[in-house]
């Protein structure tokens, strides 16, 4: 489970302190998802970066399963993040010189024991996202929607407990965005990870049962979607 309690984030600036997150609480049980809506600049990426242990909160506590990432040293934290948290960003961040299959395997390279099992899982995930016929293609040889599918498979290769998605469909046309949104939900019900997705798209958010808005740094629950 994910427990974020009383998370605040302030950035000191020349003209004073910017309060980006104020006392944010977010709890997810295993297999639950939440979507966070809000306009550009409201702090959505900051919240995801904190949940993903990429940056520390100014105050508040975070726990993922039985681990408090704030208590880990830098090396332990990097290992924890690699094993337990997957990220999908607006940009796919695939390595252009690596094939689709190689890109998905990159997060497994730090584990020496990965070997054949990792390649089998990568192939199975890529088949699941509809790319069984593109394993040896390079990112430049596939479409934008396909690149984002590869990024999703890469984020899931280590079977993370938590998947964080930051505007994952922001660069895609409407139809492709819908299929990528559906794919994330399908994979979640299949694999049982927790999912936090941030977006400014009401359309994408509408597909999720638990929705929040980030308003003036506070997380407000929204009524369930129809």
Residues that bind ligand ADP (CB under 6 A): 11, 13, 18, 20, 38, 40-46
**DSSP track, 174-216:** HHHHHHHHHHHHHHHHHH--EEEEEES-HHHHTT-SSEEEEET
Q: Is 224 helix (H, G, I), strand (E, B) or coil?
A: coil
Smaller CB distance to ligand ADP: residue 11 or 76? 11
**What is the nearest approach in angstroms of ligand ADP to the Cβ of residue 9?**
8
Look at residues 204, 218, 181 and name the one whose alpha carbon lies nearest to residue 6: 218
Smaller CB distance to ligand ADP: residue 87 or 187? 87
Smaller CB distance to ligand ADP: residue 200 or 210? 200
**What is the nearest approach in angstroms of ligand ADP to the Cβ of residue 66?**
28
Task: Please say whether the dihedral angle defined by the alpha carbons of residues 192, 196, 198 and 202, taken in this order, is positive or negative.
Answer: positive
Q: In degrees to the nearest 10, what's the CA dihedral of 26, 202, 162, 186?
A: 140
Question: Which token pair is 173?
Answer: 């046309």
Instruction: Find the helix or strand (DSSP H, E) in which 46 lies.
Output: helix 44-51
Smaller CB distance to ligand ADP: residue 11 or 30? 11
Smaller CB distance to ligand ADP: residue 11 or 71? 11
3-state helix, strand, coil in the chain (%, to 5): 40, 25, 35
**What is the nearest approach in angstroms of ligand ADP to the Cβ of residue 48?**
8
**What is the nearest approach in angstroms of ligand ADP to the Cβ of residue 40?**
4
**What is the nearest approach in angstroms of ligand ADP to the Cβ of residue 74?**
19
């Amino acid at each position: 489970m994910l427990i974020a309690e009383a998370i605040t984030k302030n950035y000191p600036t020349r003209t004073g302190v910017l309060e980006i997150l104020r006392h944010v609480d977010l709890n997810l049980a295993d297999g639950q998802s939440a979507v966070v809506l809000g306009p550009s600049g409201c702090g959505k990426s900051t919240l995801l970066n904190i949940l993903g242990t990429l940056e520390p909160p100014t105050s508040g506590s975070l726990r993922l399963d039985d681990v408090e990432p704030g208590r880990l040293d830098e090396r332990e934290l990097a290992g924890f993040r690699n094993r337990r948290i997957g990220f999908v960003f607006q940009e796919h961040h695939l390595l252009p010189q690596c094939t689709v299959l190689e890109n998905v395997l990159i997060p497994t390279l730090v584990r020496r024991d990965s070997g054949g099992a990792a390649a089998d899982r990568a192939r199975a995930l890529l088949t699941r996202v509809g790319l069984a016929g593109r394993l040896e293609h390079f990112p430049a040889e596939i479409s934008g929607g396909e690149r984002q599918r590869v990024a999703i498979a890469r984020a899931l290769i280590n079977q993370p407990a938590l998947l964080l998605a930051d505007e994952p469909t922001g660069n895609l046309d409407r139809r492709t965005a819908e299929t990528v949104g559906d794919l994330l939900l399908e994979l979640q019900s299949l694999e049982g990870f927790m999912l936090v997705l941030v977006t400014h798209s009401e359309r994408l958010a509408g597909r999720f049962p638990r929705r929040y808005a980030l308003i003036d740094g506070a997380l407000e629950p929204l009524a369930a979607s129809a």
